[in-house]
A and B are shown apart, each in its own frame.
Chain A
Amino acid sequence: MTTPVFEVENLSLHYRLRFGAKVHAVTNVSFTMQPGEILGIAGESGCGKSTLVNGLMGLFIPPLYPSGGDVKVAGESLMNRTPQDIRKNVLSRKVSMIPQGAFNALNPTRRVKDIAADVIAAHEHGVDRASTHVRLLERFKLFFGKDADHVLNSYPIQLTAGERQRSVIGISTLLNPEMVIADEPTSALDVSTQKVVIKMIFDLLDAGIFKTMIFITHELPLLRHVANNIAIMYAGEFVEKGTADQIVFAPKHPYTKALMGAMLSAEPGQKDRKPIAIEGAPPSLAKEIPGCRFSERCPVARPECRTKIQELRMFSDRLVRCDYAE
């Protein structure tokens, strides 16, 4: 068995609020990732996806603090390190991130090539500008072809949303990181541009520019095509984790089923199938929750669900956090 590129063990994160209150945004998340794997993480807004991303990069900026667990990239732990150290030695080199709404992440007053050159200059000493530009052009040619020169010499405002998003991905992966975390990279793009961006991500992965990827989105149909494995997150914990086909075609946890029920599609004959929203709101994580976190909204909840904490267990080849999954 090959060594995993990325290991997460029982990671818990909390936000500190005023008067000593804490919000436990992420609880006991564990997974490992093999080279070439794409893990999709799905869940509603506010379920802790973006907090988890910060934790996975080891970037703990107050009020976010780790409460326990370990994150390892290629065997190296990211815990208990200063943000300065993480920025210099981990970000871009080992773990890189494609942020939410990435097309607004570019400084509007600078050309794309200057923004990209800064990334190289910040991590590698004594690189001269001429060789940097050759390197940039080579890399951007991979996904822009003959437009590479035009894109590099443009200001972000001169580019389309898709070109900006692809530039950001190009800049994020300049230093060949071990792993890339993409947080909703396509949710602000239209469907055609989305396809182009996903194609580019696949090309980079196949070319070996990065080894693994975590892809975060709330669009399960998209994840089915992008990810090998999918983890469903609810109220800060994984409730189900399995292969993409298992999760999409045969969900077992009631929450996953409800999420699939809320999807809609343009396939003929689907018009009468009503997407069903999940009633209610996720629980507040500022308080201790005595039982299953989904019990308040669960359509098949039993009285004992409200008092008994559910553990992740193996059930028909995947991990499910529900004793009554069928």
Chain B
Amino acid sequence: MPNNTPIFSAKNVVRTFGSGKKLIKAVNDVSFDIADGEIVSIVGGSGCGKSVLAKIMLGLYTPSSGTFEYEGHKITNQKDHWNEVQFIFQDPFSCFNQFFTIRSQLEAAFKIKKETLTPQQISDRVDAGLMAVNVAPKDIEGKYSFELSGGQMQRMLLARIFALRPKVLLADEPTSMVDACVRANILDYLMKLKQELKMTIVFVTHDIGLAYYVSDRLFIMHEGKIVDQGKPDDVILKPTSPVTVQLLDDIPEIHKEWIKR
């Protein structure tokens, strides 16, 4: 039986910080549904609330008002939630503990899973995860996080996702700290996750070019609100909001006039 319950469903979600005169509405009255197997990008400038929204999806923040549901129920137990929803963050260097080997940390990630696996099964899954991102398991044998470059670290984070096989992946600016080559690589792996594991991916970025390339649907955020949404081609070709126009205008494209001197 096909499951029609959306993965994430938000109704009038508001998240505020501070109080009184210093009250900030980081996420302001946002409603959307994300279906199973979709890649959705949330695009916006710094401080538009996109990371806060991602943290609400992770269950790290609870909405101040409105309802936010994962598969039709509220997120109450973070551990249960993270069994199915996993994440990669912007800075790969702060994601690993320097005192433990990469491999032991990849294996320790399985503690979050509900299914009980034997050490051999876990080891096999980690190997498969590493192979999926084109790293031979013996290359990182006994290595610590500081021995790898930024691009390799970002791959290790993706290897964890390939090994854990969660239902949903939240990627918060996974490419903003790496160079253009590694970025192309990471995007390839994200597409692979979608095709091979049918994963739902929420991709948070400020680069509308990236978002255009990977996603099935785009949300443009500005000052806590979703100001524009739709299929990438529609949003890019027929932007309905001045914010989208501005964002498109600000990307340096090789074929158009960008800045006047």
* Known contacts A275-B184, A277-B182, A266 near B253 by CB under 8 Å: yes
Task: Report the nearest A residue to B134, measured CB to CB.
Answer: A279
The reply to whether B179 and A206 form a contact with Cβ atoms under 8 Å apart is no
Residues of chain B from 32 to 65 with CB closer than 8 A to chain A in the complex: 45-47
A209 interface hit (Cβ, 8 Å): no
The reply to whether B212 and A46 form a contact with Cβ atoms under 8 Å apart is no
* Known contacts A266-B236, A271-B212, A222 near B180 by CB under 8 Å: no
The reply to whether A221 and B247 form a contact with Cβ atoms under 8 Å apart is no
Of A265, A266, A267, most B-chain CB atoms within 10 Å: A266
The reply to whether A271 and B232 form a contact with Cβ atoms under 8 Å apart is yes
Complex alpha-carbon distance, A15 and B182, angstroms: 25
A199 interface hit (Cβ, 8 Å): yes
B132 to chain A, nearest CB (A): 15
B23 interface hit (Cβ, 8 Å): no
The reply to whether B149 and A46 form a contact with Cβ atoms under 8 Å apart is yes
The reply to whether A160 and B46 form a contact with Cβ atoms under 8 Å apart is yes
Segment from B8-16, B74-82, B101-109, B201-209 that makes contact with A: B201-209
The reply to whether A221 and B185 form a contact with Cβ atoms under 8 Å apart is no
Of A44, A193, A258, most B-chain CB atoms within 10 Å: A44
The reply to whether B247 and A275 form a contact with Cβ atoms under 8 Å apart is no
- In terms of DSSP, what is the predominant structure of the interface of chain B? helix
The reply to whether A218 and B179 form a contact with Cβ atoms under 8 Å apart is yes
Complex alpha-carbon distance, A107 and B44, angstroms: 29
Residues of chain A from 151 to 174 with CB closer than 8 A to chain B in the complex: 160-162
B115 to chain A, nearest CB (A): 33
A257 to chain B, nearest CB (A): 13
Complex alpha-carbon distance, A295 and B188, angstroms: 24
| Binary per-residue interface labels of chain A (31-46) against chain B in the complex, 1 for a CB within 8 Å, 0 otherwise | 0000000000000111
Which residue from B45, B150, B254 sits with its C-beta under 8 Å from A191?
Answer: B45
| Binary per-residue interface labels of chain A (243-264) against chain B in the complex, 1 for a CB within 8 Å, 0 otherwise | 0000011000000001100111
A314: which B residues are within 8 A, CB to CB? none
The reply to whether B213 and A271 form a contact with Cβ atoms under 8 Å apart is yes
Complex alpha-carbon distance, A266 and B210, angstroms: 7
B131 to chain A, nearest CB (A): 15
B248 to chain A, nearest CB (A): 6
B251 interface hit (Cβ, 8 Å): yes
Complex alpha-carbon distance, A118 and B247, angstroms: 38
The reply to whether B181 and A262 form a contact with Cβ atoms under 8 Å apart is yes
The reply to whether A264 and B213 form a contact with Cβ atoms under 8 Å apart is yes
The reply to whether A190 and B184 form a contact with Cβ atoms under 8 Å apart is no
The reply to whether B233 and A161 form a contact with Cβ atoms under 8 Å apart is no
Which residue from A45, A188, A190 sits with its C-beta under 8 Å from B151?
Answer: A45
Q: Classify chain A: how many residues form its interface, as a range.
A: 35 or more
Complex alpha-carbon distance, A249 and B151, angstroms: 27
Task: Report the nearest B residue to A258, measured CB to CB.
Answer: B181
Task: Report the nearest B residue to A46, measured CB to CB.
Answer: B149
Complex alpha-carbon distance, A195 and B250, angstroms: 6
Residues of chain B from 245 to 261 with CB closer than 8 A to chain A in the complex: 246-248, 250-255, 258-259, 261
Which residue from B45, B213, B248 sits with its C-beta under 8 Å from A275?
Answer: B213
A189 interface hit (Cβ, 8 Å): yes
The reply to whether B254 and A224 form a contact with Cβ atoms under 8 Å apart is yes
A160: which B residues are within 8 A, CB to CB? 46-47
Complex alpha-carbon distance, A199 and B213, angstroms: 28
Complex alpha-carbon distance, A221 and B252, angstroms: 6
* Known contacts A45-B150, A191-B247, A192-B247, A266 near B181 by CB under 8 Å: no
A99 to chain B, nearest CB (A): 15
The reply to whether A224 and B181 form a contact with Cβ atoms under 8 Å apart is no
Complex alpha-carbon distance, A267 and B261, angstroms: 23
B190 interface hit (Cβ, 8 Å): no
Complex alpha-carbon distance, A14 and B51, angstroms: 41
A220 interface hit (Cβ, 8 Å): yes
B213: which A residues are within 8 A, CB to CB? 264, 270-271, 275
Known contacts A45-B151, A195-B250; 9 further A-B pairs (Cβ under 8 A): A161-B46, A162-B46, A221-B254, A249-B254, A258-B181, A264-B187, A265-B251, A266-B211, A271-B233
Among all A-B residue pairs, the 3 with the closest Cβ atoms: A277-B184, A190-B206, A275-B184
29 residue pairs bridging A and B, Cβ less than 8 Å apart: A44-B181, A45-B150, A160-B46, A162-B46, A187-B176, A188-B176, A189-B46, A190-B206, A191-B250, A195-B250, A218-B180, A218-B181, A220-B180, A221-B254, A224-B252, A224-B254, A259-B180, A259-B181, A263-B180, A264-B184, A264-B213, A265-B209, A266-B208, A268-B233, A270-B213, A275-B213, A276-B184, A277-B182, A277-B188
